[in-house]
Structure 1
Amino acid sequence: MARFNVIQFIREQWKTLPVCSGDVSSKAIMLTGTNVGVGLEAAVHFAGMKPQLLLATCRDEEKCKRTREVVLERTVLDNYPEDSTKVASWPLNLNTFDSVREFADRFAAEALAGAQLNILVANAGVYMQSYTKTRDGWELMLQVNYLSTALLSILMLPYLIKSSNVDSPSRLVVVSSLGHYFGSRKLTGTDKWTSILGTINDENFCGSIDRYVLSKLLDVMFIRELVARLPEPTPVVACTVNPGFCRSRLFRDTETKWYTRPFASFLNYSPLSRTSEEGSRTLLHAAIGGEDSAIHGRYLSGCEVLEESSYLFTPEGKAFSGRLWTETVDLLSKVDNRVPGIIKQNLRVD
């Protein structure tokens, strides 16, 4: 159990992180949110390891085309031009459930690498200053950072399990944040909430910062609940990661208003911030490094396993997390009729 610690944060930000490497020549890797920042740097690292397939996703076709070009320019064309077809980029917009469903349909239909999937790194995320609803009726950060990420993880779970073996289980990595330590600030009296997701979705529930860090806490809860239901020995090692305080484009929405531009400048020029490339190293470590048993169900930061928010270990936190799982599965089962079957066939009964 842990709380945010300023001294530990500063030490970690200034620590030199290792660049994890390994033999991924037989593996298919999927990485979301790759057009800029940490996601792009992770994609470049993965491509340089020459996987059987790297499937990098972006919000639209134009970003996919440019991202693939950048990844090829920085890695593949120099190292193995004959294998450039092993880098693919498909559109995936987590703003809408339709896009997630269509992506899953395409993955099943085109059967890239024989529908093999050994590693899924769910990196895509967003921060918005103003309350914004998606066409599905959900607040944007709640849908992108949590609901659509959970839907994608569940829909890809059968492929991860099918591609797993005893010596090398597949891996599911969901990018969270150190902000998850602050995510419980608005979670009071939750036992009286009629609906967890409905309450969080309300415009008057909290402000943008609280909503962002809460979405990252929900990611940690989702992985912990998923891990508790995976069979043993596990076919999928699942964890959450914190890239750290990075100079990236995550908070670009703060550049749009004069009164939040100083915050954007602080993020980009603070001596405490690390580069996106440095931030991507913890994603690599979670995806291909570390001992399976050590990272399974855990939260990683600075290429190490750290204790999650203390709230998760309180009676209220445990009850909240269990209810969140039930509500999430119920909702996503209505969004995509494949979800109930996947849950029933691949996870243990509560």
Structure 2
Amino acid sequence: MSIRYQVTKLLNVFFTRALNSRISPTTPLIVTSANPGFCPSELRRDMPFPLSTFSKLAEKVFAFTTEEGSRQLIYAAVGGKDDLEKMRGGFVHLGDVQEVSDYAISEEGGKVQERIWTETIDILAGVTPRVREIVDQYLSVVA
């Protein structure tokens, strides 16, 4: 079974934490990432048989509704006003900010996080040089 799904969640956590570390702690901007969970979608539309049949059954039995999944995104965007520090760089899942893995906060994880940040900015700057200008103007390594 492919681990791409789990890896994309980890990449999301790393990029969010890297971006959060570059904004001033006094800014009103709160950087979060969110996992809407297993919801009905077209992401599995090209899944081969018999996996597609199993996936459709699992969707009916286990999946959150699209509305339930969207709550995670809404909470990440406007929730958590009682504990803003908890939200900064946080990963929202199941209606709350979740603790990240030990690997994500390890020394090795920190190196991977910085590599993901650097490579992402390099790729985006290759598309438009303005990305580098924006990063240089508005972001710095704060934490």
Do they fold alike, i.e. is TM over 0.5?
Answer: yes
Task: Confirm or deny that 1:267 pairs with 2:51.
Answer: no
Partner secondary structure for residue 140 of structure 2: coil
Q: How far 1:304 moved relative to its partner? A: 0.7
Partner of 2:71: 281
Instruction: Answer whether contact 1:227 1:296 (CA < 8 A) is retained.
Output: yes
Seq. identity, %: 39
Partner of 1:246: 39
Task: Confirm or deny that 1:295 pairs with 2:82.
Answer: no
For structure 1, list consecutive stretches of 5 or more residues without a partner in the other structure.
1-206
Task: Give the alignment's TM-score, normalised by structure 1.
Answer: 0.38
Amino acid aligned to 1:258:
F
Instruction: Answer whether contact 1:252 1:264 (CA < 8 A) is retained.
Output: no
Instruction: Answer whether contact 1:246 1:274 (CA < 8 A) is retained.
Output: yes
Structure (1/2) with the larger strand percentage: 1
Alignment of 1:1-350 (within 5 A): 209-254=2-47, 257-270=48-61, 272-291=62-81, 292-349=84-141
C-alpha distance in 2 between matches for 1:329 and 1:248: 29
For structure 2, list consecutive stretches of 5 or more residues without a partner in the other structure.
none
Partner secondary structure for residue 30 of structure 2: strand
Q: How far 1:251 moved relative to its partner? A: 2.0
C-alpha distance in 1 between matches for 2:68 and 2:141: 39
Aligned length: 140
Q: Which runs of 4+ in 1 moved over 6 A?
A: none
Once the two structures are superposed, what CA deviation does each residue of 1:190-221 show, in whole Å capped at 9, x if it has no partner?
xxxxxxxxxxxxxxxxx7x3223212211111
Instruction: Answer whether contact 2:32 2:77 (CA < 8 A) is retained.
Output: no
Instruction: Answer whether contact 1:241 1:301 (CA < 8 A) is retained.
Output: yes
Partner secondary structure for residue 33 of structure 2: strand
CA RMSD, aligned part only? 1.8
Q: How far 1:339 moved relative to its partner? A: 0.5
C-alpha distance in 1 between matches for 2:44 and 2:103: 26
C-alpha distance in 2 between matches for 1:345 and 1:246: 38
Instruction: Answer whether contact 1:246 1:267 (CA < 8 A) is retained.
Output: no
Once the two structures are superposed, what CA deviation does each residue of 1:27-63 show, in whole Å capped at 9, x if it has no partner?
xxxxxxxxxxxxxxxxxxxxxxxxxxxxxxxxxxxxx
C-alpha distance in 2 between matches for 1:231 and 1:301: 25
Structure showing greater Rg: 1
Q: How far 1:248 moved relative to its partner? A: 2.8
Partner secondary structure for residue 14 of structure 2: helix
C-alpha distance in 2 between matches for 1:320 and 1:287: 26
Query: Which is bigger in relative contact order (C-alpha 8 A, separation at least 6)?
Result: 2
Partner secondary structure for residue 252 of structure 1: coil
C-alpha distance in 2 between matches for 1:260 and 1:226: 37
Q: How far 1:335 moved relative to its partner? A: 1.4
Once the two structures are superposed, what CA deviation does each residue of 1:229-283 show, in whole Å capped at 9, x if it has no partner?
10130241110111122233332222xx22322332233222x322111111111
